[in-house]
Amino acid sequence: MRLARALKEKIYDVRLRDKLISEGKLKKEDVEKLLKELPDESENLRYTGKDPRQN
């Protein structure tokens, strides 16, 4: 069961998502629906004090 769930979630991976949409294997509407259903995790945000954009 865990493998089936992992494979299902993998299609929404950023690295694969756009490719699958362009091939018609995934609908953009399905991606948008999933993103809207994700819980708000902003309360778990933690700042480290270091800006990742700076080297």
State pLDDT tens for residues 16-45: 999 999 999 999 999 999 889 989 998 998
Helix (H) or strand (E) holding 3: helix 2-10
Is 70 exceeded by the pLDDT of residue 50?
yes
Model pLDDT, residue 52: 67
pTM: 0.59
The Cα 7–Cα 16 span in angstroms is 12
What 3 state SS string does 28-44 have? Answer: HHHHHHHHHHCCCCHHH
Query: What gap in Å lies between CA 12 and CA 16, rounded to an integer?
Result: 7
Enumerate the domain spans of the chain. 8-32
- Residue pLDDT, tens place only, 4-14: 888 888 888 88
